[in-house]
Amino acid sequence: MSDPGLRFQRANFVVRDMDRALTFYRDVLGFTVAFTLGHNPESYSIPVFAIPDAATIGFCVLSTASQERVMALTEIKDAPLDPVPHPRRSAIVLEVADPDAVMAGARRLGLQVYEEGELVTKDGRRGREIGIADFDDNLIVIYKITGEAS
């Protein structure tokens, strides 16, 4: 059942360097860049994310082959970013076709790849799940279902 008054638009992570972030989100995970926007001093993101006035911001919206504009990256330059507090307060969860390739790509970039866990879904299917922290310590959990419910 869906509520026509509610539609999930996209998730957003803050990053320090858009080009560097795209080496993971685009080149390893496989997102495509739908569009980018440069600095806009009138951006709603400035007050909402509590971005300092001296900062320069950028915005990149990402798509997958089957989902348009489902992820965004907001770049904040020329201002310090506090570390992401732990325990982390958010993550994105992505089903991927080839977890081994994603893990290898993340490791090549020097990203933290957590020990793999066994996924058991609420209906008993089994799979693999792996956490990856991006360059800015944002958490991405990838998974792949490998077996039907027993």
- pLDDT tens profile 85-119: 999 999 999 999 999 999 999 999 999 999 999 99
Percent residues over pLDDT 90 in the chain: 87
* C-alpha span between 1 and 140 (Å, rounded): 28
What's the CATH architecture for 1-82? Roll (3.10)
pLDDT score of 57 more than 90: yes
Confidence at residue 147, expressed as pLDDT on a 0 to 100 scale: 85
What's the CATH architecture for 83-150? Roll (3.10)
Q: Where in the chain is the domain with CATH 3.10.180.10?
A: 1-82, 83-150
pLDDT, mean over the chain = 94
Model-wide pTM > 0.85:
yes
